[in-house]
Amino acid sequence: MFTRSRRNLSRWFMLSMGSILMVFAVTRYYLTAIERLRYLDQLLYKKAQVVAATVQYKQRDGQRQIDFKNVPFLGESPLPPGSDAVYARWYDPQGRLQQFFGIASPPALLEDVPELQTLTIEAGLLSNRPTLVRQITLPVQYRGELLGYLQVAVPLAPLQSELQQDLLVSLVAILIALTAIVVAAWALSGVAMRPIQESYDHLQKFTADASHELRTPLAAILSNAQVGLLAPMEKGESKHQRLEKITATAKSMTVLISNLLFLARRSGRIADEALQATDLSHVLQELINEPTIRTAAQWVQLSLDFPEQSVTIRADQELLKQAITNLITNACKYTPADGRVNLRLFVQSRQAIVQIEDTGIGIPDADLPYIFERFYRVDRERSREKGGTGLGLAIAQQIIAAHGGTITARSSVGQGSVFQIMLPLQSSM
């Protein structure tokens, strides 16, 4: 139980810390990419300004002419050292292509494009695969007059390479951090569970001591009362009646103590190693032949409805028998003589379903939400007459919940009740 709780605590710690780490890493990578792209845009803008500054404007025969002779990329001027421009283009104020460098067959007309744009160049033009480039379209003016538009593009491959390296470093750092988180989570969960385990050990010791200290005097009282009943006396004498009452009370107290100790000791899910593959049909067949069920059902009609094929679940067989026995004996106890109690088993939606239906006195709607609470009894006087302690349904619910199942009830006063258990089927390997 504590190992499973420690695993769950570690798992939640790892999920929370891992999620925070991943959000931080993704945010950092995104901001880094944005910052580096902004830096690239600044360099591209400065490069375009340098090229535009070399454009010479002349008026010849009343017409405006652009001299590209000394313009890098577009004229005879040598390329700047370390230049990585993919292409450069010059469009006149009407958007017609006048001069270009780089990729052949550029668009003849300038489209309405944003100043900065990321484009994909098809495979074969620059490399054997599509290439991403960053393009700037810069309007060039001289004394308020528009001379034309300059387009310059640079490859994004260096930026992509830097980001990939940064991503690789981040992934390695995340893996190292996650490993440290796993180790820290397991260690811290062990420290956190230590006080709980110590408290549980103290509780186990207390319940064991309480069991011994309470059962020993009860056993002495019960044995002395039973010995007294064996002594010769008239059955109707007051002494005989007092001894019978002492015997009945001692037995009731013994059952109550056993039930309380069961509820105190067994809580939470059952450990996986304690669960075994169990044929529920076979368990129910064995259960209805036990003396406890036969005695409880001697005044009612107990009918069975089981499927022919096996219904396999993973369960602690003895605990499951105890839960179903509590429900069947409860149904028989509150069903009048010659009434019916039906025990059904079927499979629905990957769940094994056990139904115990009776034609008993029923349960009022106001009491239904509380019947699985400890010591809750619908009719206290009637429960005392029947020998009930108010723990049978609470124990049944705790056992079913420990198997990962659920138990529900529906009832109508004067018509009967239906208790339904749903347990997950064994998953096929």
- Write the DSSP assignment of 256-288 as a string of letters: HHHHHHHHHH--SPPPGGG-EEEEHHHHHHHHH
For residue 189, the model assigns a pLDDT of: 83
For residue 419, the model assigns a pLDDT of: 95
DSSP, residue by residue, 328-378: HHHHHHTS-TT-EEEEEEEEETTEEEEEEEE-SS---TTTGGGTTSTT--S
Query: How deeply is 33 buried, as exposed, middle or buried, from its count of CB atoms within 10 A (0-12, 13-18, 19+)?
Result: middle
CA-nearest of 402, 420, 428 to 275 is 402
Continuous segment of H or E residues that includes residue 150: strand 145-155
For residue 127, the model assigns a pLDDT of: 63
Contact 334, 296 (CB under 8 A): no
For residue 69, the model assigns a pLDDT of: 77
**C-alpha separations of 3 from 114, 194, 196, 197, 270 in Å:** 61, 11, 12, 10, 12
- At 420, give phi and psi (nearest 5°): -125, 130
**C-alpha separations of 222 from 69, 194, 388, 409 in Å:** 120, 41, 19, 36
For residue 252, the model assigns a pLDDT of: 67
> What pTM does this model have?
0.52
Q: What is the rounded distance in angstroms from the CA atom of residue 322 to the CA atom of residue 328?
A: 10
For residue 355, the model assigns a pLDDT of: 94
For residue 346, the model assigns a pLDDT of: 93
For residue 168, the model assigns a pLDDT of: 93
**pLDDT tens by residue, the chain, 429 residues:** 567 777 888 888 888 988 999 999 999 999 999 999 999 999 989 888 888 888 877 766 666 677 777 788 777 666 666 577 888 888 888 888 888 888 767 888 888 778 898 888 876 555 667 788 899 999 988 877 888 899 989 889 889 999 999 999 999 999 999 999 889 888 888 888 788 777 767 776 776 676 667 777 777 777 877 777 777 766 556 777 777 778 777 776 776 677 666 666 666 667 677 788 999 999 898 888 888 888 888 889 999 898 888 899 998 888 888 889 989 998 998 899 889 999 999 999 889 999 999 999 999 988 888 888 877 777 655 554 555 567 788 888 888 988 889 999 999 998 999 999 999 998 765
For residue 410, the model assigns a pLDDT of: 92
For residue 211, the model assigns a pLDDT of: 66
If you ran DSSP here, which 8-state letter would residue 96 be given?
B
For residue 63, the model assigns a pLDDT of: 66
